[in-house]
Amino acid sequence: MLNNNDGIVLIDKNEGETSFDVVRKAKRLLKKKKVGHAGTLDPFATGLLIILLGQGTKLSSYLMSGKKRYLATMTLGVETDTLDKTGCIVKTVPVPELNPGKVRDVIREFLGDIEQTPPAYSAININGQRAYKLARQGIAVDLKKRTVTINSIDVVSVRLPDIVFEVTCSSGTYIRSLAADMGKRLGSAAHLSSLRRLSSGTFEVQNALSSSLLGAGEKVDIIMASVMSLKDALPGMKECCIDRETAKKIMNGYRPVQHEVACWDPSLDDYKGFIKLTNGLSLVAVMEVDHSLQAEKEWLKNIRIFTQ
């Protein structure tokens, strides 16, 4: 590891704490000024939370864009205002007789691109205020439907009124809304009674440290030893190695042209997307490029630099 002041650490968040609670504990324990996270988990949810340290906070948008995988339990017959077990009951509906085959058939209808309305109790920004703050004040908010992608969804068990399912989905998917919509399609109502994030992008919760360690001063060494470097924090991103001289120029604000960051990989000839520039063990920059553009000055759409 080059510098564990900058990077990410995988945390398994406990139930009952907010994502910000975890960030605050990490900041206090590790004595770092800049700490963030990539992807909020609701307080009642558990599982993988990626904590960003130092310049790792610059990685947020890249890490949050990956697919997410969850294990969830929805309880039929009861709808709450928050769409989870922490809310107030707003509706009770009889639970119809459903066999596992019927449940699986209905839930499979949600595969692919679907439209969903985010929960009123969410962190979406409405005219400068969080939707959940407005909802708590009794102010109705008009949240627009959005298209999300359900890559896979599998029923784990059916023990009515509870249905346990595992889902892989695009970033921005609300599992609470998904459960509510599935409950209606099953002829009832539903809310989430448990939610656990199993993975985010290429990272798995089985490789994460319990958030309980963030409250124990003697565990600092364990946590710091688990910090992943900036370069290793983007394992799925295409990589291009550059020489030290070019790296210095880029870190000083120079925008490179195509031939200066040419990679041996022929798959990059017409590549459009993100590339990480590395020098040795260091992450120099992340570039958004369009290699199909022939003009040297147009191919580089954006660049984010990481100082050493």
DSSP 175-204: HHHHHHHHHHHTTS-EEEEEEEEEEETTEE
Task: Tell the burial category of 252 from Cβ atoms under 10 Å away from its Cβ (0-12, 13-18, 19+).
Answer: exposed
Angstrom distance (rounded) from CA 37 to CA 195 = 18
Which residue, among 87, 80, 150, has the nearest Cα to 114 in the 3D structure?
150
- Stated as kind and residue range, the H or E segment containing 10 is strand 7-13
Q: Which of helix, strand or coil describes residue 292?
A: coil
* 42, 105, 269, 270: the active-site residue: 42
42 counts as catalytic: yes
- For residue 172, give Cα distances in angstroms to 66, 116, 248, 274: 10, 10, 37, 20
Catalytic residues: 42
